Structures are given as C-alpha cells and as structure tokens.
Amino acid sequence: MTTDPLPRPVGLPRTPALVLRGRTFDASRPAVMAIINRTSDSFWAGNRHAALEDAMEALHAAVGAGADIVDVGGVRAGAEGEHVSPAQEVDRVVPFLEAARAAYPRLVLSLDTWRSEVALAAGGVVDLVNDTWAGHDPELVRVAARIGAGVVCSHTGGLPPRTDPVGMRYADERGDDELAVVRDVLRVLASGARVAQAAGVPPERILVDPTLDFGKTTRHSLVTLRHTADVAALGYPVLQALSRKDFVGETLDLLPDERLEGTLAATAVAAWLGTTVFRAHDVLATRRVVDMVATIRGDRPPAVSERGEPGRAG
C-alpha cells in the first residue's frame, strides 16, 4: 500500500517588518494597537475618554493587557457628533500624548488625525501618524516625515473627512463591482505608500490600511477583508482596523456592544492573511487571538511546550 505525500502548505503572505521607536513588529510579533478616543461622542460608548484622568486609566489598562501601540484620536470619524476645530483637537490629544510618553518611554504612540497642524503640534512625542482619510491634507505626510514619524496610508473611496458612505459603488474597465473595490484599494494604497516614501518616510515606517467601513458598504468591506493577502502583497506592513465596526454589526445584525466575537473572527482571518497591526478596543482578547494565529502559521513558537515531552506526567 502506498501513501500519497502530503501537499505542500499554501504559502502564507509575509510583509516586511514595521520598525517604530526601535521596536520591530512582524509575522512573529504582530502588534496590537489600542484605541483611546479623547471624545465624548465615539460610536462605541466603551471608548469615550474626554477627561484626561479617564484616558490615562484606559492607557494603563491597555498596556497591562498587552498593547504595543496606543492610537489616540480627538475627533469622531463619522459625520455625526460635534464639530472639532484643529485647536480643540490639539488640546485634546497633545496633553495626553505627553503624559503617555512620560509614563511609558518605550511605548509606540500613534496620532489618529487627518490634519497636518495637529500632527505638527505632536512632534517629538508621536511615533506614527494614522491618517484615516487617505491624504486629504497633502501636507500631513510631509509633516510626518519632518517629525520623524511613520504614517498609515488608508483608502476611503475618495470621500472627505467625516463623511459616511452612501450609495458607494466601484467599477472599472473590467466592470465587476465586487473586485473593482479591491483593485481600487490596491491602487490607492500603493500610490499613498509611494507618496509617503517620496516625502521622506522610510518604508519600514509605512503601514497600509484597507480601511474597512470607510467609503465602503458592508459587502465592500467583506470582500476587501477576504483579499487581505493582496494588500500584503503590496510589500508594506498591513494595519487592519476591524474592532466592532459596522460591517461586523450588519453581518451578524448586532449593536456595537455585541460585536466582540465577530470582530475576533475577522481578526483571525486578517492575521492568517498577513496583517501585522490590529487596531482594537478589546486589547487582551485581540492579543491572544493574533498570537495564537501567529503560532498556528508557524511564525511564533508556543509560549510553553511541555505536553507529551519525556518526563511529563499525563
């Protein structure tokens, strides 16, 4: 009796390492990016930290749960909510970033903003500029290079900041709407990364984020997530912001408070397909999921490996 050899495993995507503040994140050490919103109107009530003391408590909890990066924002992403001027945004985020840096000198700090003047005010403190609005302010990437920060290149379907998607459609010369969104994501992210490098941001500090929900219907977000490996093939570390988003809620018909399991399922898929950084509200659960997936992929050894070893009792 002959036994056919096992087929070779399908190659898993691996992106180059992300290097920020002297720390390296890659397939063997994926990064969890905690979210701290200095707002009172964030879409999920569990992440509203308008008071500095409250935000610092959230910071300590996130670091204790295993966060590698902390992303702070001062303006709600969606169209609903209060108007926030650049000066107000600076007042919300910079004191927190300064306090966070004093408390955790090695922690990677990220600023979620689309405004170059806000990023400039955070110079010397922030390590990463998370531009979730796809270069709407063309000066922002040059400011990131000037202050020595990395940058996140995103895809929003051409929408301006704080615009919720309505009637979004993607079509190209091939005419298939479903894959047209993926091709648009890849085109915009590749262009954004080239612009960042031309501005002086080193490639190891450039992240690409397909930016699910932004400029996308739920169907667009799901097909884009399914094609994460194609995003990884662009040759830059991939960031996925999946936490409690509407595409999870609509898929399962759940409110934000009930979206943890769906978020973690999406996180595991994104991790398997080559994502390096995961922006998350639920740090501990995300940390465990991405570490487990990294080990299943063969990129990270188990923390303990004693079962079945000689001398080990059953």
pLDDT of 64 reads 98
Residue-number span of the structural domain to which 172 is assigned: 23-77+85-297
Count of C-beta atoms within a 10 Å radius of residue 92: 22
- Let me know if residue 13 belongs to a domain: no
- Let me know if residue 63 belongs to a domain: yes
pLDDT of 1 reads 47
pLDDT of 313 reads 62
Amino acid symbol at 72: V
- Let me know if residue 198 belongs to a domain: yes
pLDDT in tens, the chain (314 residues): 455 665 656 778 989 999 999 999 999 999 999 999 988 766 655 666 678 889 999 999 999 999 999 999 999 887 777 889 999 999 999 999 999 999 999 999 999 999 999 999 999 999 999 999 999 999 999 999 999 999 999 999 999 998 888 889 898 767 666 799 999 999 999 999 999 999 999 999 999 999 999 999 999 999 999 999 999 999 999 999 999 999 999 999 999 999 999 999 999 999 999 999 999 999 999 999 999 999 999 999 999 999 988 876 65
pLDDT of 22 reads 96
* Domains identified in the chain, total number: 1
Q: What is the CATH number of the domain that holds 143?
A: 3.20.20.20
pTM of the model: 0.92
d(CA 86, CA 154): 21
Q: In the chain, which ranges are continuous DSSP H helix? A: 52-65, 86-103, 116-121, 140-146, 177-199, 218-226, 228-232, 246-252, 260-272, 283-297
d(CA 208, CA 186): 9
**Helix, strand, coil tally for the chain in percent (to 5):** 40, 15, 45
pLDDT of 155 reads 98
- Let me know if residue 308 belongs to a domain: no
pLDDT of 314 reads 55
- Let me know if residue 182 belongs to a domain: yes
d(CA 249, CA 138): 33
d(CA 77, CA 69): 19
CB 22, CB 274: distance < 8 Å: no
- Let me know if residue 59 belongs to a domain: yes
- Let me know if residue 11 belongs to a domain: no
**Shortest CA distance to 144 belongs to which of 160, 130, 158?**
130
- Let me know if residue 256 belongs to a domain: yes
Take residue 142 and report the two structure tokens written for it. 């040059």
